[in-house]
């Protein structure tokens, strides 16, 4: 029965991931063909060079680290719906902790899938409400009074995430953080290419963590 469950999960998971991938490419292709507005290949390539390395790096890391946490069904569902780090993984870990089941167990597989499905539905509902309320709320959101707050949304979001992860692994985070602070302080113009330094920071973190582990510091 267990083998049958995993076989069917893999079958439908691959099917829906493939379908989602096709739809992601099909929608802009159809819209571009209808309006006869196709992007210039050189511009697309130039844009990808700035963002693709960070997405490739993050995708590889997430697949390796998150799949054991999310389980088979949860992994397919989570990677299709996205937002794993901020939503899906925390929901899964909290659900497993509250239920008392372990990652990788039969019960944990079911709990993680339910948690990710519930968080996905909640996200869709919240986004739908936001879309319908966007027009009436636009004057309020664009007001000068709230502008300073909205300018700090991304810094506060990533700052909050940084506090969580840095507090758990402050020794490992210290070296790449110091390196990045020095680099961008000495050469401020590199801020426009910050995404290119994510893999660099990851490599520095891995090397420094390895050295500290060998010396018994972590």
pLDDT of residue 192: 67
Phi, psi angle pair for 93, to nearest 5°: -65, -40
Q: What is the DSSP letter of 143?
A: -
DSSP code per residue over 80-129: HH--IIIIIHHHHHHHHHHHTPPTTSHHHHHHHHHHHHHHHHHHHHHHHH
Q: Return per-residue pLDDT of the chain as tens, 218 residues.
A: 556 878 888 888 889 888 988 988 888 888 888 888 888 888 777 777 766 776 777 777 778 778 888 888 888 888 888 777 777 888 888 888 888 888 777 888 888 889 899 988 988 898 888 888 888 877 877 778 877 877 777 677 667 667 766 777 778 888 888 888 888 888 877 766 666 676 777 788 888 888 888 888 77
DSSP code per residue over 22-87: HHHHHHHHHHHHHHT----HHHHHHHHHHHHHHHHHHHHHHHHHHHHHHHHHHHHHHHHH--IIII
Contact 167, 25 (CB under 8 A): no
Instruction: Enumerate the domain spans of the chain.
Output: 56-146, 152-214
pLDDT of residue 25: 86
Q: Which residues of 113-140 are buried (b: 16+ CB within 10 A; e: fewer)?
A: bbbbbebbeeeeeeeeeeeeeeeeeeee
């Amino acid at each position: 029965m267990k083998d049958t469950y995993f076989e069917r999960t893999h079958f439908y998971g691959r099917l829906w991931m493939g379908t989602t991938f096709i739809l992601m490419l099909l929608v802009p292709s159809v819209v571009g063909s209808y309006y006869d507005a196709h992007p210039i290949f050189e511009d697309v390539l130039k844009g990808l060079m700035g963002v693709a390395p960070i997405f490739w790096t993050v995708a590889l890391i997430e697949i390796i680290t998150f799949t054991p946490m999310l389980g088979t069904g949860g992994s397919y569902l989570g990677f299709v719906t996205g937002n794993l780090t901020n939503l899906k993984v925390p929901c899964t870990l909290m659900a497993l902790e509250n239920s008392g089941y372990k990652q990788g167990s039969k019960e944990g597989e079911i709990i993680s899938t339910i948690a990710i499905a519930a968080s996905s539905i909640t996200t869709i509902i919240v986004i739908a409400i936001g879309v319908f309320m966007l027009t009436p709320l636009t004057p309020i959101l664009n007001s000068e009074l709230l502008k300073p707050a909205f300018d700090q949304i991304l810094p506060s979001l990533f700052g909050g995430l940084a506090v969580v992860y840095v507090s758990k692994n402050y020794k490992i985070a210290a070296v790449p953080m110091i390196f990045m602070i020095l680099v961008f302080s000495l050469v401020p113009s590199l801020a426009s290419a910050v995404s290119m330094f994510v893999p660099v920071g990851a490599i520095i973190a891995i090397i420094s963590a390895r050295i500290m582990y060998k010396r018994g510091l972590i």
